[in-house]
Chains A and B, each alone.
Chain A
Amino acid sequence: MPEHNSCQSVIQKFIDVNGAENGALLPLLHAIQDTFDYIPKSAVTLISKALSLSEAEVHGVITYYHYFRYEAPGRHIVQICRAESCQACGSDELLAVAQDILGCSSHQKSRSGLITLEPVDCLGLCASSPAIQVDNKLHARVSIETLKGVLVDLEASA
């Protein structure tokens, strides 16, 4: 498994720099997900050995936090905020439009497999709701037309 070796090297590199002291697990998981866009399943055993934790503990942490994922996402991730402030400004409609255009429900990949749709609770842009994030780019005061344009462009460029 090619991931296995590169995963091992990410872990080793992390420990060389940061050590394996208490509290290393979350930063290490971030380092792995930053590299692969997800946490390869094979990483669990490697991490548990490197940090002297049980595999259950590592698995427990990965599955507890919404941010970490075991499955590779699509090439692009579209996050739509659905918290109260954005709801007050029509985010439910935005999510419905996105699901319709992408042909998938929340936390799934689009029909093309290129886009992962993630509802999110609060991007911190609440004075300019509704907000979405496409990969690393934030958009605020998003209209249905803007969202449609963004999604069509993404599908075309991917």
Chain B
Amino acid sequence: MKAVKIFVPRDSASLALGADEVAKCLLEKGRLRGLSIELIRNGSRGMFWLEPLVEVQTSKGRVAYGPVQVNDIDSLLDAGLLEGGEHKLGLGLTEQIPYLAKQERLTFARMGIIDPLSLSDYEAHSGWKGLRRALTLDGDSIVQEVVDSGLRGRGGAAFPAGIKWRTVKGAQAEQKYIVCNADEGDSGTFSDRMTMEGDPFMLIEGMIIAGIAVGAEKGYVYIRSEYPHAIEVMREAIQICLSQGFLGSSVCGSGKAFHLEIRKAAGAYVCGEETALLESIEGRRGIVRAKPPLPALEGLFGKPTVVNNVITLASVPLILNQGAAFYRDYGVGRSQGTLPFQLAGNVKHGGLVEKAFGITLNELLHDFGAGTRSGRPIKAVQVGGPLGAYVPQSQWNVPLDYESYTAIGAVLGHGGIVIHDETTNMAKLARYAMEFCALESCGKCTPCRIGSTRGVEAIDRITSNKDKQQQVYLLRDLCNTMKDASLCAMGGMTPYPVLSALNHYPEDFGIDV
């Protein structure tokens, strides 16, 4: 009897919900029943309310069940799990689950489908095609392809990736570097983590292409220490690539070298800022550098350096494989391609939704998210991480693209969307934003270092009714100073959540509307 393939994710979030225990139990009970099971530990499909999501390969396709707990295994096997039998946890064919079917998965096309560390799976799902094409092109043509695709930095700054690459390509130096920013510290985001855990070769392929394009032979992936599983998978993936000739002194026998190293971060949020990150890799405190010089010209160890976020680099293999026009045709205006939106916080159907730019919060919150987990009305939605604005209901129809969000004083950031229900006190969240800034500020510039602490004090005085009017004035003035005079986004964007909370929810600050 041919073994039936069963998929139980190894994504951290699935593990946190009992996936290891489910996998172990499934194997044990299957063995006792004399069933022949081939267990595959895939990445997550990104429907986290259904995790652990167990899938079975059937003649009709993959059939899903979830969320599965250990005490469901007996009844699942009784129901004919291996044939995709009916069960109360049954979800039908995975591909047809509306949450997935409605998405436009480009970067996340393989996510949850393949075994993350199987090179043959990766190859069978278009892996290395981008790199193989890149190896037939010269550096300028690769850079042009990325420029033409319209790809912008997915870490949050949204700087055109191709332009950055062109600068590095044009710089004259013996040594250049590709640095991947995997210091995904924003609350509400996990797309980098999913990529590293669920499709690591895609990121490696993107970095190799970047290296070949700009003439860099060395890359670093700077991964936050809170992601031990991602670090482990990436380390293993690098070893596999080395042994198979995708990394090393001659990439795919091309004679072009690319070496890749993992650097583990140490829990400083500000190291997600590119210059602080470079300082950290160099072995120093993660203090922000003044720009210029741009890292593209004087970056890591003073050499020309591409610093890109995980999703930016991971989008490159597809762009090289399918061509710039294919990618550019998704999205709106100057926001081209897709963004993996991440639905988090108090949401019923939390998970990863990759869609072209231009979708609205209303669609994400209701059609995908299905409202709050608590069942209460949504009060506020923070878009773009802890430095992003709280977006009130009146703006939920604004298209999610870089320009439209800038126009309403908000940001898309890294695509994190954190949902809060009506029990949330927005003054408390505004205070937290200032407190977080005080805790994480690198201390180099005064508006951020001092302003954040003064901000906490001002909010405390407002909420305890001490000189309220004057303190509101002071808080706004302070926020303007932080916005205009901070060296980086840490101090420069902390005012976004603070002022949006104050402007849209004044009643929570005890201010009469």
Contact = CB atoms under 8 A, between A and B. Distances in A.
Given A27-B264, A65-B267, A85-B418, A122 B373 contact: no
Contact of B284 (A57, A87, A138): A57
A88 B418 contact: yes
A128 B48 CA distance: 6
Given A22-B283, A85-B418, A129 B344 contact: yes
Max chain A Cβ within 10 angstroms of own Cβ: one of B187, B268, B350:
B187
Given A124-B190, A127-B190, A138 B266 contact: no
B190 A66 contact: no
B421 A25 contact: no
A87 B190 contact: no
A85 B285 contact: no
B267 A67 contact: yes
B155 to A, nearest CB: 15
Given A23-B282, A128-B48, A84 B432 contact: yes
Nearest to B20: A137
Interface in B254-288: 263-269, 280-286
B490 to A, nearest CB: 13
A25 B283 contact: yes
A112 B7 CA distance: 42
B188 A125 contact: no
B16 A126 contact: no
A84 B187 contact: yes
5 contacts: A51-B283, A89-B345, A121-B439, A128-B48, A128-B51
Interface in A78-127: 83-89, 120-127
Interface in B188-212: 188-190, 193
Contact of B188 (A126, A138, A139): A126
Q: 7 nearest interchain CB pairs?
A: A127-B350, A83-B187, A126-B344, A25-B283, A65-B266, A67-B267, A88-B345
A46 interface: no
Contacts of A27: 263-264
B347 A127 contact: yes
Given A65-B268, A67-B266, A88 B420 contact: yes
A119 B346 CA distance: 20
Given A84-B420, A85-B188, 10 more contacts: A23-B281, A65-B268, A83-B386, A84-B386, A88-B345, A123-B12, A126-B416, A126-B418, A128-B13, A128-B16
A131 interface: yes
Contacts of A86: 187
Interface stretch (B115-123, B161-169, B222-230, B458-466): B222-230
Given A85-B187, A88-B421, A124 B17 contact: no
Interface string A1-42: 000000000000000000000111111011000000000000
A89 B373 contact: yes
B269 A126 contact: no
Interface residues of B, number: 59
A89 B344 CA distance: 10
A127 B351 contact: yes
B382 A84 contact: yes
B342 A67 contact: no
Contacts of B190: 124-127
Interface of A: 22-27, 29-30, 51, 57, 60-61, 64-68, 83-89, 120-129, 131, 136, 138-141
A22 B228 CA distance: 24
A151 to B, nearest CB: 17
Given A27-B263, A65-B267, A67-B266, A128 B350 contact: yes
Contact of B283 (A26, A66, A84, A124): A26
A87 B345 CA distance: 8
B266 A122 contact: no
B396 interface: no
A54 to B, nearest CB: 12
A96 to B, nearest CB: 14
A116 B436 CA distance: 21
B13 A127 contact: yes
B228 A121 contact: no
A150 B282 CA distance: 39
A129 B421 CA distance: 14
A22 B16 contact: no
Interface string B391-433: 0000000000000000000000000101111001000010010
B512 to A, nearest CB: 27
B301 interface: yes
Contacts of A123: 12, 226
Contacts of A51: 283
Contacts of B416: 85, 126
A125 B263 contact: no
A29 to B, nearest CB: 7
A126 B283 contact: no
B217 interface: no
A66 B268 contact: yes
B282 A22 contact: yes
Interface string B75-113: 000000000000000000000000000000000000000
